[in-house]
Amino acid sequence: MSRLGHLEQAYQITQWYPKPAVYDRDGWHAFPYLDIGEFYSEYGSFEVSITVPENYVVGATGELQSQEQLNELIELAETTAAIPSFNTSDKAFPTSATTTKTLVYKESNIHDFAWFADKRFHVLKGEVQLPNSGRTVHTWAYFPNHNAELWQDAIEYLNDAVYYYSLWYGDYPYTNCSAVHAPGSRGGMEYPNITIIGNNSTPMALETVIMHEVGHNWFYGILGSNERDHPWMDEGLNTFSEMRYFNTKYPDNKLYPFQLKKESQAEFLGIEEHPYPYIHQMLYRVQARRNLDLPITSCSEDLVGTNYSAIAYSKTGLSFYYLKVYLGEDTFNSIMQQYFETWKFKHPTPTDLQKLFEDHVDEDLSWFFDDLLRTDKKLEYKISKARRDKILIKNKGQLQSPVLVNQHRGDSTLQSTWVQGFEGKQWVILDLDIDADRVSIFGYTYPDLEPDNNSARLNGLARTMESLRIQPFGAIEDPNRTTLNLLPAIGWNYHNGVMLGGYLYNDILPLNGFEYSLMPMYSLGSNEFAGLGELRHNFLVQNSIISRISPFIRARQFSYDESPGSYYQKLNPGVIVRFKRKVNSLPVDNEIQLDYIHATDMSAHMDDERSYVRLHVRQTNREIVSPHQIELMAEMSDGYTKASIDLSYKHTYIYKNSLDIRFFAGAFLNRSSATPSLFNFYSGGTAGLNDYTYDGLYLGRALDPTSELFVSNQFTRDEGGFVTFNPLANSEEYLVSLNVSSSLPIAKNIPIQFYVNAALLGERGLSTEILRDEEPYLYEAGVKLQVIRNLLEFYFPLFASEELQDYLEATTDTYLQQVRFTFNIDRLNMHDLARELK
C-alpha cells in the first residue's frame, strides 16, 4: 500500500479521517489520490483519543496527556536502553491483551495526525535543546526487533535533525519529535511530529531517512506548501538540507556507506571517493543528459518516474545549494529564517519565497528564479584552456549563471571566487599569490551537466585532460577521471564454439555524449576473430521538438556455419532521433531510426553481400498498467521495398497478470520476381536462417530449425510471431497476424502464459503443387514459460492448424524438437538499459 495501513498486527494509521480541502488565495484545492505528492491540508488543533489493547505501544502526533502513560513509555525506554543486544530474528507478535487502554493526544498548529501501534515496539527517548530559544524537545524512537541494531542510534539522528533545522530555519515549535520503524513500508513518510521509516541496511541510510523525514516538520509540516503543485518546496528544500546536514555533521562524508557496507565494494564500482551529494548530481544528470529533465517548478503529476526524485528532490537540492554558496551562509540563513517566521502554519507559494529573496538581495537573481527554477536550461561551463595565471572558461550551456572558480594545491582548496555569468568565452585571472597547482569550477553540490571538463592542472602538458582509470566493473561516471571499464568476456555459439575476449565500455550512468561498447573475442572453435561493438554519440537539442539526435555505428562478425573460413559481417551506421515528450505526465517516447546495413556472408556455399536501408518510426508508451508500442517499418534493398506495422499492447488486469496483444501487418510495396524468398514475411518469425540482416544473436544460426539440436529451436518472435516453425509459411505478398497471450489465473506464481496466434498470408513464396491448395489461414495455440520476460522464454505448442501440424509431423520425431525459445541476449546491452530507464 502506498500510504500504509497494517501489516499483520502492526498498525500504521495515516490518512485515516476525512479532511476538508484547503481554501486559500487560489481557491479550493480538491485533488484525487495520487501515488506521488503528499496531501495539502489545513492547520488546526487536534485532540485524539485512541483505544487499543493494553499491551500495544503507541507512537503518535502530539502530546500524550496522561502522565502515568508517559511514565510507562519512559520506563520502557529505560528497559530498551539496557538491552545489550537485540534478537533481530524474533519478529513474533505477543498475544493481544484482553483489556484496553485509551490514550489521549493534543497538539495545535498541525495539519495532519498519524499514529502507529505495535506490540513489539522497543522505545528509546532523548532530548535536544533548541539553538535559538533554548527550549527542550523530547525525541522518541519506536522500533521492533527487525533493524534494532541500527535503531539504537536513532535518537542521535533525531536530535541532530531537530537541532540543525532549528539552527538554520527556526526553532521546532512542538514538544515531541518521533520516528517509527514499520518493517515492510517503503522509504519514509512524514507526518507532523512523527515520521515513519521503512527497512534500512546501513546506519547512514537510516540516518538519511530519519533526518530527511524529521526535516519535513519544517518543509511541509510548519511551512505548509502544496506538494501536489510545488513538490520542490518541501522535497527539494529538504534534499538541500540533507546535503547541508551531511556536509556540516560529517565534513569528510562519503556516498558509498549509504548502501554499501565495505569500502572494497565501492572500489569495485569505482565510487569510493564521491561524497554524499554526488547521488543527487547523478540523479539529475541521469535525466538531464537524456534531455528528459523538466523545470523544478513542475507539479507532482508531471514528474513521472525518475524525474520525481531527479527534479523535485535532487535538482532543487543542488540549485539551492548553489544559491546558498553564492549568497553566503549568513544571508541565505537570514532569508530562510524570515521565510519561516512569515509563513509558519500557513501556505506559502513559490512567489512568496522568491519575493523574500528578492527583497533581501540587491543583485539580479533572475538566473536562479527565472532560469534554474522555471526552465530546463542546462548549466554547463567548461575550462577550455589553463595557463599559469588565467583560465579560459566557455559557457556551453543555456544558463548564464555565476561560476564558482576554485584554486587548489594538492587536496586542499585555497580560494573560491565567483565570476558573474556570461555567454560565450571568458578569461578568468587567477590569484598568483596563493600558488595553486590546480583549478576547478563548481563541485559536488551544483546541478551542472558535464563534470569531466571542470578541472585543469596549472602546469605540465595536457592540462585539461583527465587521468585515466581502468575499472573491472564500472558503471557510474567518475567526475574526476576518464574511466575505461574492462571485463573479461566469454561467449559460445554452435559455429564459433567457445569465444574468449574482453568487454570494453565507458560509463553507463548517466548517459554520455560519446558512448562505446566493444566486445572483441577469439573463437576457439573456428580459430577466427569474432565479436561485436557499437559507437554512438548523443547530441542534446534544446528548444526544439527534438530531444536528442544519436548517430551510431554498429558492427559484428561471427562464424556463419561450421565450414572453415565461413563468417558473416554486419556494418550498420545509422541515426536515432528522439522527440520531446508532449505531455509530461505520460511516459510516451517517439523516435525515428534510420539504418544503413551492409551485410556480408562468406559461407562456403554462398559468397554474397547486400545493403539495406531501413526506417523505423516508433512510439513507446511506458506506463505501468497498459504499456504499448507502435512501430512502423520500411525496408529497401536491391529488388524490393517492404513495409510493416507492429502494434503491441499489454493490459494488466490484476497485479502482475496481463493480457498481451500484438498485431502485425506487413506487405511488399514492390518486389522484382528475382527476389529470393529469404526476404519474404514469415509467419514463424525470424530464425538464424532467415535473419538476413543479422540483427539477432543465435546460438546455432545456420542450423536447420527442425534439427535434433535444441539450440536450433531459438527464434525471434517478430513478423507473424508463430511458434510453430514452417519454412513454407511465408508470403511474397503480405502477412497479417494476431498474437494474444494471457497469464493463467490458476498459476499465480509460475510465470506461464497461454498463447493463441492467427495469421493470414498472401501469395506464398514457395509455389509447390501442394501449397497451391492450402488455406491462406494459419492458427496455433500453446503455453509459454517466461523465465525472464522478453529475454528467455520457452514456447510449448499444444495444437496448430492442419498445414502446420502436417509439417511438424513430417519433420520432427520428438516433442522437444517442436519446443522453441527466444534468447535475446543482445537486449542485455547495458547502455541500452540505461538509455531506457524510466
Rounded least distance, CB 211 to Zn ion, Å: 11
CB 133 within 8 A of CB 171: yes
Torsion angle, alpha carbons of 438, 444, 450, 451, to 10: 30
Q: Which long-range contacts (CB under 8 A, 24 or more apart) does 490-494 make?
A: 491/519, 491/521, 491/530, 492/699, 493/558, 493/559, 493/697, 493/698, 493/699, 493/700, 493/701, 493/711, 494/562, 494/699, 494/700, 494/701, 494/703, 494/709, 494/711
- DSSP reduced 3-state for 67: helix
CB 446 within 8 A of CB 404: yes
- DSSP reduced 3-state for 615: strand
Q: 145 is written with which cell numbers?
A: 526487533
Select the span of 52-60, 231-239, 318-326, 459-467 touching Zn ion (CB under 5 A): 231-239
**Taking the chain, what is the end-to-end CA distance rounded to the nearest angstrom?**
21
DSSP-assigned beta bridge partners for residue 791: none
Tally of CB atoms within 10 A around 539: 12
Rg (CA), the chain: 32
Shorter beta-carbon distance to Zn ion: residue 235 or 448? 235
DSSP assignment of 330-396: HHHHHHHHHHHHHHTTB---HHHHHHHHHHH--S--HIIIIIITTS---B-EEEEEE-SSEEEEEE-
- Which candidate, 766, 698, 772, 687, places its Cα nearest to that of 721? 687
- Determine the length of the chain: 838
- Residues in 233-252 at the binding interface with Zn ion, rule: CB under 5 A: 235
Rounded least distance, CB 190 to Zn ion, Å: 6
Select the span of 232-240, 299-307, 411-419, 683-691 touching Zn ion (CB under 5 A): 232-240
Select the span of 191-199, 227-235, 326-334, 408-416 touching Zn ion (CB under 5 A): 227-235
DSSP assignment of 752-791: EEEEEEEEEE-SBSS--HHHHTS-SEEEEEEEEEEEETTT
Shorter beta-carbon distance to Zn ion: residue 192 or 720? 192
**Identity of residue 338:** Q
DSSP-assigned beta bridge partners for residue 143: 122
**Identity of residue 633:** M
Residue least distant from Zn ion (Cβ): 235
Tally of CB atoms within 10 A around 745: 9
Per-position b or e across 6-40, b if 16+ CB within 10 A of its CB: eeeebbbbbbeeeeeebeeeeeebebeeeebbbbb
Residue count, binding to Zn ion (CB under 5 A): 1
User: Judging by DSSP bridges, how do beta strands 100-110 and 514-523 pair with one another?
Assistant: unpaired
Q: 7 is written with which cell numbers?
A: 501489516
CB 239 within 8 A of CB 284: no
CB 815 within 8 A of CB 794: no
Question: CA dist 827 to 85, 355, 413, 585, 614, Å?
Answer: 47, 51, 45, 27, 20
The helices-and-strands tally (H runs, E runs) of the chain is: 16, 41
| CA geometry: angle 414, 270, 550, nearest 5 deg | 100
Rounded least distance, CB 380 to Zn ion, Å: 28
Residue that the C-alpha cell 560529517 belongs to: 250
Q: What are phi and psi of 369, to 5 degrees?
A: -75, -35
Q: What are phi and psi of 546, to 5 degrees?
A: -85, 140
Tell me the helix, strand and coil percentages in the chain, rounded to 5.
25, 40, 40
Helix (H) or strand (E) holding 500: strand 497-505
Tally of CB atoms within 10 A around 95: 10
Q: What are phi and psi of 686, to 5 degrees?
A: -110, 135
CB 720 within 8 A of CB 755: no
Rounded least distance, CB 212 to Zn ion, Å: 5
Interface with Zn ion (CB under 5 A): 235
